[in-house]
Amino acid sequence: MQIGAYKLTSLVTSTFALDGGAMFGVIPKTLWSRQTEVDELNRINMVTRTLLLESKDRKILIDTGNGDKWSARKREIFKIEMDPYILPNSLKHHGLSAEDITDVICTHLHFDHVGGNTRIEDGRPVPVFPNATYWIQSENWKLANSPSEKDRASYLSENWAVLAENGMLEILNSERELFDDIRLEIVHGHTLGQQLPVITDGNQTLMYGGDLFPMKAHIPIPWVMAYDNEPMRSIAEKKSILPKLLERDAIIFFEHDPEAIACKLGATEKGIVGSENIVI
Ligand SMILES: [Zn+2]
Q: Where are the alpha helices (DSSP H) in the chain?
A: 20-24, 29-32, 72-77, 87-93, 111-114, 138-145, 161-165, 231-247
**How remote is the C-alpha of 112 from its chain's centroid?**
8
**How remote is the C-alpha of 233 from its chain's centroid?**
19
Confidence at residue 174, expressed as pLDDT on a 0 to 100 scale = 87
Closest CA to 260 of 280, 246, 239, 245: 280
CA of 56 from ligand 1 middle (Å) equals: 31
pLDDT of residue 11 exceeding 90, the answer is: yes
DSSP 3-state assignment of 28?
Answer: coil
Please classify residue 14 by burial: count the beta carbons closer than 10 Å to its beta carbon, then call 0-12 exposed, 13-18 middle and 19+ buried.
Answer: buried
- How far apart, in whole angstroms, are the C-alpha atoms of residue 162 and residue 180? 28
CB of 61 within 8 A of CB of 96? no
Confidence at residue 121, expressed as pLDDT on a 0 to 100 scale = 96
- How far apart, in whole angstroms, are the C-alpha atoms of residue 246 and residue 256? 21
Taking residues 99-128, what's their average pLDDT? Answer: 97
Between β-strands 133-137 and 103-105, what pairing exists: parallel, antiparallel or unpaired? Answer: parallel
Confidence band (pLDDT; 50, 70, 90) for 61? very high
Structural domain boundaries in the chain? 2-278
What residues pair up with 97 in beta bridges, in sequence order? none
Q: Strands, DSSP E only, in 138-193? A: 169-172, 177-179, 182-187
Closest CA to 134 of 200, 195, 89: 195
Closest CA to 207 of 22, 51, 77: 51
- How far apart, in whole angstroms, are the C-alpha atoms of residue 256 and residue 260? 9
In what order do the strands lie in the sheet containing 205-208?
A: 177-179, 182-187, 194-200, 205-208, 251-253, 262-268, 271-278
pLDDT per residue as tens digits for the range 200-233 = 999 999 999 999 999 999 999 999 999 999 999 9
pLDDT of residue 257 exceeding 90, the answer is: yes
Closest CA to 78 of 121, 33, 18: 18
Question: 2-278: which CATH number, 3.10.129.10, 3.40.50.300, 3.40.190.10, 3.60.15.10?
Answer: 3.60.15.10
Residues around ligand 1, an ion, CB closer than 5 A: 110, 211
Q: Where are the alpha helices (DSSP H) in 104-170?
A: 111-114, 138-145, 161-165
CA of 159 from ligand 1 middle (Å) equals: 14
Confidence at residue 172, expressed as pLDDT on a 0 to 100 scale = 97
CA of 222 from ligand 1 middle (Å) equals: 18
pLDDT of residue 98 exceeding 90, the answer is: yes
CA of 24 from ligand 1 middle (Å) equals: 13
Amino acid identity for residue 274 in this structure: G
CA of 194 from ligand 1 middle (Å) equals: 8
Amino acid identity for residue 268 in this structure: T
Confidence band (pLDDT; 50, 70, 90) for 175? confident
pLDDT per residue as tens digits for the range 79-97 = 999 888 989 999 999 999 9
- How far apart, in whole angstroms, are the C-alpha atoms of residue 36 and residue 223? 14
